[in-house]
């Protein structure tokens, strides 16, 4: 098949959606002819139609997805949308208005939610994945200039990642450091809070994606208290593949992703959150975490997409 990904920010951002396109496109290219349109090309219906594709996968929703949907009338291709927007208005639009040939939910929780709006659209669940050859417990590490044990939190510095809760919870634990990795509009606010509550035990940094395997290996535990409407969270998989246990929000999507490789807690209760981090630091998670991550290898995820493509 000729497959086209429409990913507006592919060359600019390294979020879960862009990682999804990068990794899945490489795997699908073994059996299909795969192209990626980024920036203005991703919103050009004329360029989409010129390629005579069999399958188009818009990533950015809304107008991009609607254009791609209209293009089916002229291009005759199928439309697949993955639920990277998460539970909310964007994916309601993607399901109920755009009406793709198939909507791929990333968790069972999201799939059950999507049923309310599907109205005949084929629904399936395929999670995101992780490169288990790149993210491993064994390999080179990086000097972080923090005392161990080091708690790691990775994600955009935006309100819905709730990094503030991580800083406040870790501040209740003696002799523990915190590294927050990411960029975003809350960087100044989070930096000031971390410096105030943790001092030399705190860093906010950003790394090239190619260096992230070393960052994970250099830490002792992973946590990210994102809200339950977050679509998935590839960073949990990267952490587990690197041998780290996880302290996560006690919600259905996180249970599905983390399994028995971590501790789940009400992250709005800072004392309980801090206690969960302390307990998790006492456990050797490496074997369980790696085994859980292997369930989500990109090879397995690509196989599931190939099965979907056969029947569309």
Instruction: Tell me the per-residue pLDDT of 218-270, one tens digit each, with 9 for 90 and over.
Output: 999 999 998 877 889 999 999 999 999 999 999 999 999 999 999 999 999 99
**Same domain, yes or no, for 275 and 301?**
no
Q: What is the pLDDT of residues 56-89, one digit of tens each?
A: 999 998 899 999 999 999 999 999 999 998 889 9
Residue 143 counted as domain residue: no
**Same domain, yes or no, for 290 and 220?**
yes
Residue 139 counted as domain residue: no
pTM above 0.75, yes or no: yes
Low-confidence ranges of the chain (pLDDT < 50): none
**Same domain, yes or no, for 7 and 89?**
yes
Q: Residue 16's pLDDT is what?
A: 80
**Same domain, yes or no, for 160 and 106?**
no
Residue 134 counted as domain residue: no
Q: Residue 290's pLDDT is what?
A: 97
Q: Residue 11's pLDDT is what?
A: 79
Axis-axis angle for helices 187-198, 163-170 (nearest 10) = 10
Q: How many domains does the chain have?
A: 2
Q: Residue 119's pLDDT is what?
A: 84
**Same domain, yes or no, for 251 and 302?**
no
Residue 60 counted as domain residue: yes
Return the closest-CA partner of residue 28 out of 303, 290, 225, 219.
303
Residue 136 counted as domain residue: no
Q: Determine the Cα–Cα distance for residues 221 and 223; give it in Å rounded to an integer.
A: 7
Residue 137 counted as domain residue: no
Q: Identify the domain containing residue 242 by its residue range.
A: 150-294
Q: Which CATH number fits the domain that encloses residue 120? A: 3.40.50.2000
Residue 53 counted as domain residue: yes
Q: Residue 120's pLDDT is what?
A: 81
**Same domain, yes or no, for 123 and 161?**
no
Are 98 and 66 contacting, i.e. CB atoms less than 8 angstroms apart? yes
Residue 144 counted as domain residue: no
Contacting residues for 133 by C-beta, under 8 A, at least 6 apart: none
**Same domain, yes or no, for 72 and 190?**
no
Q: Residue 227's pLDDT is what?
A: 83
**Same domain, yes or no, for 278 and 305?**
no
**Same domain, yes or no, for 253 and 303?**
no
């Amino acid at each position: 098949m000729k497959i086209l990904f429409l990913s507006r920010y592919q060359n600019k951002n390294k979020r879960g959606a862009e990682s999804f396109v990068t990794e899945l496109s490489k795997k699908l290219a073994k059996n299909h002819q795969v192209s990626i349109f980024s920036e203005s090309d991703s919103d050009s219906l004329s360029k989409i139609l010129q390629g005579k594709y069999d399958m188009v996968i818009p990533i950015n929703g809304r107008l991009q997805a609607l254009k791609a949907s209209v293009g089916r009338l002229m291009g005759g291709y199928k439309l697949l949308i993955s639920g990277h927007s998460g539970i909310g208005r964007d994916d309601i639009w993607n399901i109920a208005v755009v009406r793709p040939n198939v909507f791929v939910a990333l968790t069972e929780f999201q799939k059950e939610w999507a049923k309310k709006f599907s109205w005949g659209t084929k629904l399936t669940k395929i999670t995101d994945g992780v490169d288990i050859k790149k993210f491993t417990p064994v390999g080179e590490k990086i000097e972080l200039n923090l005392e161990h044990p080091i708690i790691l939190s990775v994600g955009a510095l935006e309100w819905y990642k709730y990094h503030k809760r991580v800083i406040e919870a870790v501040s209740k634990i003696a002799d523990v450091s915190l590294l927050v990795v990411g960029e975003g509009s809350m960087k100044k606010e989070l930096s000031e809070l971390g410096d105030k509550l943790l001092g030399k035990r705190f860093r906010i940094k950003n790394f090239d994606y190619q260096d992230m395997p070393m960052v994970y290996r250099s830490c002792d535990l992973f946590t990210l208290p994102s809200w339950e409407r977050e679509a998935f969270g590839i960073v949990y998989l990267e952490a587990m593949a690197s041998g780290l246990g996880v302290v996560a929000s006690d919600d259905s999507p996180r249970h599905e992703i983390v399994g028995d490789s971590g501790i789940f807690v009400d992250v709005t209760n800072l004392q309980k959150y801090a206690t969960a981090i302390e307990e998790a630091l006492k456990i050797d998670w490496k074997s369980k975490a790696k085994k859980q991550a292997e369930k989500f290898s990109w090879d397995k995820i690509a196989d599931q997409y190939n099965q979907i493509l056969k029947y569309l």
